[in-house]
Amino acid sequence: MGTIHAQRRDSAVKKRLLAELHNWERLLVLQSLNEAIRLMQSKKVEKLTDQHIHAVAEYGPIRIDDEVFFDKAFSSGKDVAACLSFAMQIGWQEALDDIVRFRLTVLGPDVEAVSGNGQADDSNAHTLPSSRI
């Protein structure tokens, strides 16, 4: 009987630890998405170069004019760089809209990332021309 009780307790502990791990994973993804969105919502995105994207892929910060982006170590740097590279080709606004939709669909609304009405806060966003592939 003691073995069954210990197995249940271990299983409950494991479930709690997995839930905490999933919360940390979610935060990693959310931080990466939020930083990409912050860059894409700024006018500085127009100055993004292939060298900047390469630096993000190598988990490094980038500086555009006087502003630093990706200054924290993002474990998904290569994934973010790939998204930025595709966005550069697709068009910033279209890619931004898609990434915001993805964030809301997969991660749910985040208090800091969205306004009270559940919509992405695009008050600083601007329309950028698409560069077709």
Q: Which residue has the higher pLDDT, 58 or 108?
A: 58
**95 part of a folded domain:** yes
Is the per-residue pLDDT at 67 higher than 90?
Answer: yes
Residue at 37 is within a domain: yes
Tell whether 26 is covered by a domain: yes
Here the tokens at position 86 are 């595709």
Residue 114 placed within a domain: no
Helix, strand, coil % over all residues of the chain, rounded to 5: 60, 5, 30
Give me the domain span that covers residue 92: 2-107
User: Is the residue at 40 inside a domain?
Assistant: yes
Distance CA 34, CA 41 (A): 10
The total number of structural domains in the chain stands at 1
What is the pTM assigned to this prediction? Answer: 0.64
Residue recorded with tokens 């600083």: 124
